[in-house]
Amino acid sequence: MSTQVETHEFQAEAQQLLQLMVHSIYSNKDVFLRELISNAADALDKLRLETFVDKDLQVDTSDLHVQIEVDREQRTLTVRDNGIGMSRAEVVQLIGTIAKSGTAELLAKARESQESGSAELIGQFGVGFYSSFMVADRVSLVTRRAGEDEATRWESDGSGTYTVETVQEAPQGTAVTLRLRPEEADDGLFDYSSEHKIRELVQRYSDFITWPVRMEVERSDDDGSTKREIETLNSMKALWARSRDEVSDEEYAQFYKHVSRDWRDPLEVIAVSAEGTFEYKALLFIPSHAPGDLFAEDHRQGVQLYVKRVFVMDECAALVPPYLRFVKGVVDAQDLSLNVSREILQQDRQITLMRRRLTKKVLSAVKHMMSEDHERYATFWAEFGAAFKEGILSDAENRDTILEIASFASTHDAERTTTLRQYVERMGEAQRDIYFMTGASRSIIESSPHIEAFRAKGYEVLLLTDPVDEVWVDSVAEFDGKPLRSIAKGELDLDAEEDESAEPEREQRQEEFAGLLSWMTALLEEQVKEVRLSSRLTTSPACLVSGAHEMTPTMEKLYRAMGQELPPTKRVLELNPAHALVDGLRKAHDERGDAAGLAETVELLHGSAVLAEGGELTDPARFTRLLADHLARDL
């Protein structure tokens, strides 16, 4: 017997909002089941808490669960819980909220999302229970609050009105029944009475909630007969909610493979637990291998976001910085809304705080690997070092930590990388700078003329071959008080650094070559801005040097590869005064002035310097012809 039936009209704005929902403005209607199960789980949590607070409350809490019931003939789906339930007043207040508070602001957001084709409308505002109207043409709710005798029924088709009535008999808890719309796959509306579809959605969105989600399923016996049995659809194994010593390495590995879709074991497991005013737990993994698309523009990054064990978002990029885009795992927050968009996450203060702490946890884990397990650290660096170094540019807060963790190839060891700290510890008393050179590969740098004097004097040089190295070295002035200095840029006089008494000799040599340098500078004015003597060369006759604040040739190539045109840059041509070719050129110029043959030799000398650093000649055919002619004269 039913009593106290009331019919209410939706406010105009709320009615329009529901109509927008009904007419498929969501691209992902699957989330309705997540919303209903999440509400049911909350009701179970509240009942358990209520029994602790109210000792006189006589309820059975021995088998708290969520039950999904399907009637394929009637095309209904029911989500039932035996939780706290609601009184009639609470139904009107909570379930009728959208009917009471439909505002122009919510409607404007809905219309804006519809016009822009947003796939994230459900994240623009909390829809919760009303997301049911995305898949159902009628929704009814029957609920009885724990400790009360009367129950309440709420029902609506989402068009203009809803009814609220009191019913005398109903089990404790809440049951939401949806009369499902016909399947329309092209519109993202699937058969939600299908066991396969329900199982898929529960495992995707609600696999780790605390309570069992059950459903009656049909199974075949060995003799061919069928029977009905209750099956729990979710695992409830939220590893992040358990302490590290309660979980085996094998369990972590299996969970990593589940969230990352990687068949290999992770390199590192990082468990995070934060309590206090803002609570969350996280379980992060550093993979053992970099994905092939790590540097692709469309690389999918981020960790999975849960709220109270309910799946909310895959690849939540707001929780980890781009340079840690290889990190996989889950973050489970207690105080976020289930319906939160990616745009809102970018501005959420709690998300920002989580991101900062998770970043520091990952950096700490890498630092621990570096000090305690060099082999694993070496694997990490080989796989992810190029991406990790992006943080030197983008993460000012943690730049010093990243520089401490980072390692680089150097001339000190052909196999092992070195940290900046290790480099500094090896520096001799006469060395004031940390020397480095950027280039396309180690072999190219090691064969460069620029490195000759440093090798001769035993100075260690960092060999930086990743594209990001071209950028971050310009943003880091020093490390531990030692300036970082490119061996391919600016003027450099290693003799002066070691022995100031050599100054008179250098001045005399400069005077001897003054005429040649002046003539060559004029002769090559279209290609170089200056010709000068070098102290960085020992075996090569010449090399090209960029200005202290100019782009390297490698950086220019990177920009051009990205389609950016750059104005031509003139560089400095440095000559090795001790080389027989350069000294002979000086003597010939003193004797014969600007003879045509000398001009061709200068052209060849400049071209050789371009080729020595892996550059491209502007006129390779002319260079080949001149070279052949000069070789022929010597025969």
* Interacting residues of 459 by C-beta distance below 8 A, sequence separation 6+: 431, 435, 494
DSSP assignment letter at 181: P
Q: Is the pLDDT of residue 412 over 70?
A: yes
Q: What is the mean pLDDT of residues 281-289?
A: 96
Separation of alpha carbons 308 and 170, rounded Å: 28
* Interacting residues of 614 by C-beta distance below 8 A, sequence separation 6+: 439, 440, 444, 553
Q: Is the pLDDT of residue 433 over 50?
A: yes
Residue 50, classed as helix, strand or coil, is helix
Q: In the structure, what pLDDT confidence band is assigned to residue 542 with cuts at 50, 70 and 90? A: very high
Q: What is the largest CA-CA distance in the chain?
A: 122
CB 296, CB 279: distance < 8 Å:
no
What pLDDT, on a 0 to 100 scale, did the predictor assign at position 29?
85
Identity of residue 613: E
How many Cβ atoms sit within 10 Å of the Cβ of residue 117? 9
Cβ burial, residue 185 (10 Å; 0-12/13-18/19+): exposed
Q: Which residue has the tokens 């724990």?
A: 146
Residues 233-266: tens digit of each pLDDT? 998 888 898 888 889 999 999 889 888 888 899 9
Q: What is the mean pLDDT of residues 571-600?
A: 89
Of residues 591 and 116, which shows the higher confidence score? 591
Give percent of the chain with pLDDT exceeding 90.
Answer: 49
Of residues 215 and 552, which shows the higher confidence score? 215
Identity of residue 596: A
Q: Is the dihedral of CA 219, 221, 225, 228 positive or negative?
A: negative
What pLDDT, on a 0 to 100 scale, did the predictor assign at position 550?
77
Q: Is the pLDDT of residue 379 over 80?
A: yes
Question: Hey, which residues does 539 pair with through a beta bridge?
Answer: none
Rg of the chain over CA atoms, in angstroms?
36
Q: In the structure, what pLDDT confidence band is assigned to residue 516 with cuts at 50, 70 and 90? A: very high
- Which of 4-8, 213-217, 446-450, 562-566 is predicted most confidently? 213-217
Residue 521: which of 466, 571, 579, 461 has the closest Cα?
571
How many Cβ atoms sit within 10 Å of the Cβ of residue 430? 11
Give percent of the chain with pLDDT exceeding 70.
Answer: 87
Calculate the CA dihedral of residues 486, 489, 495, 498 and round it to 10 degrees.
-30
Q: What is the mean pLDDT of residues 69-80?
A: 96
What pLDDT, on a 0 to 100 scale, did the predictor assign at position 24?
47
What pLDDT, on a 0 to 100 scale, did the predictor assign at position 185?
79
Which phi and psi angles does 316 have, rounded to 5°?
Answer: -80, 95
Helix (H) or strand (E) holding 386: helix 374-388
Question: Hey, which residues does 544 pair with through a beta bridge?
Answer: 573
What pLDDT, on a 0 to 100 scale, did the predictor assign at position 124?
33
Residue 76: which of 155, 21, 140, 28 has the closest Cα?
140
Q: What is the mean pLDDT of residues 590-605?
A: 86
What pLDDT, on a 0 to 100 scale, did the predictor assign at position 72?
92
What pLDDT, on a 0 to 100 scale, did the predictor assign at position 71?
95
What pLDDT, on a 0 to 100 scale, did the predictor assign at position 139?
94
What pLDDT, on a 0 to 100 scale, did the predictor assign at position 108?
57
Q: Is the pLDDT of residue 125 over 50?
A: no
Q: What is the mean pLDDT of residues 418-446?
A: 92
Q: State the pTM of this model.
A: 0.74
Residue 58's Cα: distance from chain center in Å? 50
Q: Is the dihedral of CA 23, 28, 33, 36 positive or negative?
A: negative
